[in-house]
């Protein structure tokens, strides 16, 4: 899965799963554009082997998206791979959730992906090649206290399917649904909570960010040339039918 000479654009690519994705694509030979709201995310590009670009902005703001894509085009002349990874959560029971908390999550997680696909897809069409990977979540099936987050991630799966239909044959569009991944959020749980959660996972461990990055690499490479409109659950078996209890 060689990406030498390819240009990849990763939203939220400076920390957590996004950082692992950015590093994986760089190691596979791609030049990576890291689009992140956090200025400190710029540090990740200093370790890259290939030429890279950091651009700061909010995926939910069309002016930021347009500027970031223009910067990438000015530097590299094209974008071959887009990874929509940027996301936030504001967990709360549905009846207690404010309109602001609902809108904030939907704006970043779903509207953000829409804005950037709308901007980049025509450029990919012009070049005759493109790979789009959307990072959803196993919560797309619904999760207690995550009405906004679950709705945004379910919407992202549907957006993936529609985009796959509309953007073929030049562009493939696929999504990945991570399960519980070893991030600062999981590590912040108390030990009892971790133990209870791990019992639900057939593989008896949480996933590593690099394991999500490997799945992204597959969808970003020509190894997936005949795969589009697909959702890949990378969750250690958490959502298998035999484990729904």
Q: What is the pLDDT of residues 12-69, one digit of tens each?
A: 999 899 999 999 999 999 999 999 999 988 999 999 999 999 999 999 999 999 999 9
User: For residue 17, which phi and psi values (nearest 5 degrees)?
Assistant: -60, -40
Could you say which of 17, 149, 163, 236 is catalytic?
Answer: 149
Q: In Å, what is the CA distance from 198 to each residue of 4, 16, 87, 192, 205?
A: 38, 20, 24, 10, 6
Contact of 28 with 1, CB cutoff 8 Å = yes
pLDDT at 183: 79
Q: For residue 7, which phi and psi values (nearest 5 degrees)?
A: -115, 120
Using CB atoms within 10 A of its CB, is residue 144 exposed (0-12), middle (13-18) or buried (19+)? exposed
**Residue 183: HSE in the Cβ half-sphere, 13 Å Cα cutoff:** 15
- For the ranges 52-61, 96-105, 142-151, 202-211, the maximum mean pLDDT occurs at 52-61
Catalytic annotation on 149? yes
- In a 3-state reduction of DSSP, which class is residue 239? coil
Is residue 144 very low, low, confident or very high in pLDDT (cuts 50, 70, 90)? confident
At 152 the pLDDT is: 94
Residue 189: pLDDT band by 50, 70, 90 thresholds?
A: low
Q: How many residues does the chain have?
A: 245
Q: What is the mean pLDDT of residues 115-121?
A: 98
C-alpha 85/C-alpha 231 separation (Å) is 15
Separation CA 161–CA 174 (nearest Å): 8
8 neighbors 119 (Cβ within 8 angstroms): no
pLDDT of residue 193: 67
pLDDT mean over 193-211: 86
| Every domain of the chain and the residues it spans | 7-180+209-243
Q: Which fold has domain 7-180+209-243?
A: Rossmann fold (3.40.50)
Confidence of residue 245 (pLDDT cuts 50, 70, 90): very low
pLDDT at residue 241, as a whole number: 56
Token pair 């619904």: residue: 142
- Give the span between the Cα atoms of 74 and 78, in whole angstroms: 8
In this prediction the pTM is: 0.93
Tell me: pLDDT of 194 over 80: no
Q: In whole numbers, what is the pLDDT of the chain averaged over residues?
A: 92
Residues 59-115 pLDDT 10s: 999 999 999 999 999 999 999 999 999 988 888 898 998 999 989 999 999 999 999
Using CA atoms, how far apart are residues 37 and 26, in angstroms rounded to an integer? Answer: 20
Return the structure tokens found at 239: 């959502």
The better pLDDT of the pair 187, 101 is held by 101
Q: Is the pLDDT of residue 184 over 90?
A: no
């Amino acid at each position: 899965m060689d990406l030498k000479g390819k240009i990849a654009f990763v939203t939220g690519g400076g920390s957590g799963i996004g950082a692992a994705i950015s590093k994986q694509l760089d190691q596979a030979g791609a030049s990576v554009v890291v689009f992140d709201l956090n200025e400190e995310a710029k540090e990740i590009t200093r370790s890259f082997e290939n030429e890279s670009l950091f651009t700061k902005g909010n995926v939910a703001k069309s002016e930021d998206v347009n500027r970031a894509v223009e910067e990438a085009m000015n530097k590299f002349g094209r974008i071959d791979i887009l990874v929509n990874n940027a996301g936030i959560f504001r967990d709360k029971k549905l009846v207690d959730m404010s309109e602001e908390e609902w809108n904030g999550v939907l704006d970043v997680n779903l509207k953000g992906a829409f804005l950037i696909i709308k901007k980049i897809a025509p450029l990919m069409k012009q070049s005759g090649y493109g790979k789009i990977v959307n990072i959803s979540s196993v919560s797309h099936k619904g999760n207690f206290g995550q009405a906004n987050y679950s709705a945004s991630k379910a919407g992202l799966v549907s957006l993936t399917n529609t985009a796959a239909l509309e953007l073929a044959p030049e562009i493939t569009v696929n999504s990945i649904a991570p399960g519980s991944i070893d991030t600062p959020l999981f590590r912040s749980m108390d030990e009892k909570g971790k133990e209870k959660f791990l019992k639900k996972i057939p593989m008896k461990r949480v996933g590593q960010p690099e394991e999500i990055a490997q799945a992204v690499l597959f969808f970003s490479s020509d190894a997936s040339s005949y795969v589009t409109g697909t959702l890949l659950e990378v969750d250690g078996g958490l959502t298998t039918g035999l484990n729904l209890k």
